[in-house]
């Protein structure tokens, strides 16, 4: 494996970094404070191809691969984790439609997601009683003429109030004693029978929109089924494999921002409370932060590289997400310790990074779920 980015990967990374530093970073603290959805910033990302990095050019994407997609999300998250998760989920939805959709579905939805005309994409899998175990979902899909009718409720749906394209999972009626099969459906924002419920007030990633959705007799036409009828669980798992590299990249960007803030402080003055002449406490902390960050980068590059090469990457993506999100909490905690008395004041963003980092261990599979995936794939 060669860790040197190719020319095209470097171009994507530079373009993401330039936009993140000039346009996203200046708004990040205010987005966090007010919980404002970063709509205009998403448009700017779309103009640079950053909402569909690993999607064929014929569908409006950059066609730059999974490694470039990971690098782009790292750069965006270094500036604003809320904007990064919104972009990451949109990339995931667009890639999933490109991978599992038929020609009509791909041509209809991918260009809208890539161009920003759809604002964002949503991945509506979780439910109030089915978070870690999506197979336990209660939302039903009932055949109706050529199409389906969906009824149920979804929870913790990223961008659910804004998304122009939503992937929605539902279960089919199963004979007693048999596990119900799931299907994945494509809905457009504002579809009849689809309504937005509670907006969550979160500890971190506050500018990302997280809502409940209600499906009340929501009709999906025949061409709204994504992939095979009853094949929805596989669609979800395979989408989440890729999505977890996106969240690992998000956590890496957050941790990098925290480490950079600490390095500025460490270079500028001594850590408060540490006696003069003894830098070892600070050096130990900086070393742990750097090692945790680089371990996460190596694992996520490995996962992205395997994805790009068409190799299995389920376990690698879970390892990347686990190491990056748990590592980011530790890195951000150390950054607060290094900031000392001002660490909780939000002066240089480390307090925001700490709150944002914590949330990355919760979505697209909790850390416990990542451990389950890693262990099962190791035992298999």
- Min separation Cβ 124 and ligand CAA, Å: 8
Q: Within the chain, what is the greatest distance between any pair of CA atoms?
A: 79
155 binds ligand CAA (CB under 6 A): no
> What is the nearest approach in angstroms of ligand CAA to the Cβ of residue 40?
21
Closest by CA position to 24, among listed 91, 80, 84: 80
Q: Is 39 in the site for ligand CAA (CB under 6 A)?
A: no
Binding ligand CAA (rule: CB under 6 A), the pick from 135, 153, 274, 337 is 135
Give the interface segment with ligand CAA, choosing from 29-37, 97-105, 125-133, 145-153 (CB under 6 A): 125-133
Residues between 297 and 336 that touch ligand CAA (CB under 6 A): 314
Q: Which of 47, 188, 364, 368 is catalytic?
A: 364
| Distance, CA of 129 to chain centre | 21
Is 316 marked active-site?
no
* Candidate segments 98-106, 128-136, 248-256, 259-267, binder of ligand CAA by CB under 6 A: 128-136
Nearest to 125 by CA among 154, 93, 90: 154
User: In the complex with ligand CAA, which residue's Cβ is closer, 55 or 166?
Assistant: 166
Query: Which position among 66, 68, 240, 271 is part of the footprint of ligand CAA (CB under 6 A)?
Result: 240
What spatial distance separates the first Cα and last Cα of the chain, rounded to whole Å?
25
Residues numbered 158 to 197 that lie near ligand CAA (CB under 6 A) are 158
Does 237 interact with ligand CAA (rule: CB under 6 A)? Answer: yes
Contact call for residue 19 and ligand CAA (CB under 6 A) = no
Q: From the list 162, 233, 305, 354, which residue makes contact with ligand CAA (rule: CB under 6 A)?
A: 233
Half-sphere exposure for 312 (CA within 13 Å, toward CB): 5
* C-alpha–C-alpha distance, residues 320 and 252, integer Å: 10
Contact, 254 vs 82, CB < 8 A? no
**51 to 92, 289, 295, 327: CA distances (angstroms):** 9, 30, 26, 26
* Closest approach of ligand CAA to the CB of residue 363, in Å: 4
Q: How many CB atoms lie within 10 A of CB 13?
A: 19
Mark the segment that binds ligand CAA (CB under 6 A) among 43-51, 122-130, 189-197, 258-266. Answer: 122-130
Structure tokens at 66: 């999974």
Q: Tell me the site size for ligand CAA, rule CB under 6 A.
A: 22
> Taking CB under 6 A as the rule, does residue 351 contact ligand CAA?
no
Considering only 19, 37, 100, 123, the residue that binds ligand CAA (CB under 6 A) is 123
Residue labelled with tokens 């099962």: 376
Pick from 118, 168, 336, 369 the residue near ligand CAA by CB under 6 A. 369
Q: Are 355 and 258 in contact (CB under 8 A)?
A: no
Q: Which of 67, 77, 125, 297 binds ligand CAA (CB under 6 A)?
A: 125
- Nearest distance in Å: CB 244, ligand CAA: 8
Measured CA to CA in angstroms, residue 96 lies from 39, 56, 91, 134, 193 at distances of 22, 12, 8, 17, 24
B/e letters for 116-145, b = 16+ CB within 10 Å, e = fewer, are bebbbbbbbbbbeebbeebeebebbbeeee
Cβ atoms of 340 and 268 within 8 Å: the answer is no
Task: Say which DSSP state 167 is in.
Answer: E
CB of 45 to ligand CAA, least distance (A): 17
Interface positions with ligand CAA (CB under 6 A): 89, 123, 125-126, 132-135, 158, 233-234, 237-238, 240-241, 314, 363-365, 369, 372-373
Catalytic residue numbers read 364
């Amino acid at each position: 494996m060669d860790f040197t980015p190719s020319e095209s990967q470097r171009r994507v990374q530079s373009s993401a970094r330039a936009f993140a530093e000039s346009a996203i970073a200046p708004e990040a603290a205010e987005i966090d404070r007010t919980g404002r959805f970063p709509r205009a910033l998403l448009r700017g990302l779309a103009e640079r191809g950053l909402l569909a990095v690993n999607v064929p050019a014929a569908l409006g994407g950059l066609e730059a691969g999974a490694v470039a997609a990971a690098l782009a999300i790292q750069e965006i998250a270094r500036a604003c984790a809320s904007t990064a998760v919104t972009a990451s989920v949109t990339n995931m939805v667009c890639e999933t439609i490109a991978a599992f959709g038929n020609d009509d579905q791909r041509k209809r939805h991918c260009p809208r997601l890539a161009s920003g005309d759809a604002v964002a994409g949503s991945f509506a899998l979780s439910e109030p009683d089915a978070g870690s175990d999506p197979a336990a979902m209660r939302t039903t899909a009932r055949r109706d003429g050529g199409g389906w009718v969906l009824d149920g409720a979804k929870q913790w749906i990223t961008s659910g109030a804004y998304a122009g394209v939503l992937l929605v999972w539902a279960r089919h009626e199963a004979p007693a004693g048999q596990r119900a099969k799931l299907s994945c459906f494509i809905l457009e924002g504002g579809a009849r029978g689809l309504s937005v419920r509670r907006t969550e007030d979160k500890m971190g990633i506050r500018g990302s929109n997280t809502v409940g959705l209600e499906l009340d007799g929501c009709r999906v036409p025949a061409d709204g089924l994504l992939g095979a009828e009853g094949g929805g669980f596989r669609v979800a798992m395979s989408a989440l494999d890729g999505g977890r590299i996106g969240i690992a990249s998000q956590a890496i960007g957050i941790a990098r921002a925290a480490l950079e803030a600490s390095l500025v402080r460490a270079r500028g003055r001594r850590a408060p409370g540490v006696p003069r002449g003894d830098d070892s406490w600070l050096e130990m902390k900086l070393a742990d932060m750097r090692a945790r960050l680089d371990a996460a980068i190596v694992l996520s590059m490995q996962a992205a590289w395997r994805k790009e090469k068409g190799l299995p990457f389920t376990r690698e993506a879970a390892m990347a997400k686990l190491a990056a999100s748990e590592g980011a909490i530790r890195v951000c905690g150390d950054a607060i310790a290094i900031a000392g008395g001002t660490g909780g004041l939000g002066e240089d963003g480390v307090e925001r990074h700490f709150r944002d980092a914590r949330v990355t261990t919760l979505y697209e599979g909790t850390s416990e779920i990542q451990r389950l995936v890693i262990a099962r794939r190791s035992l298999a």
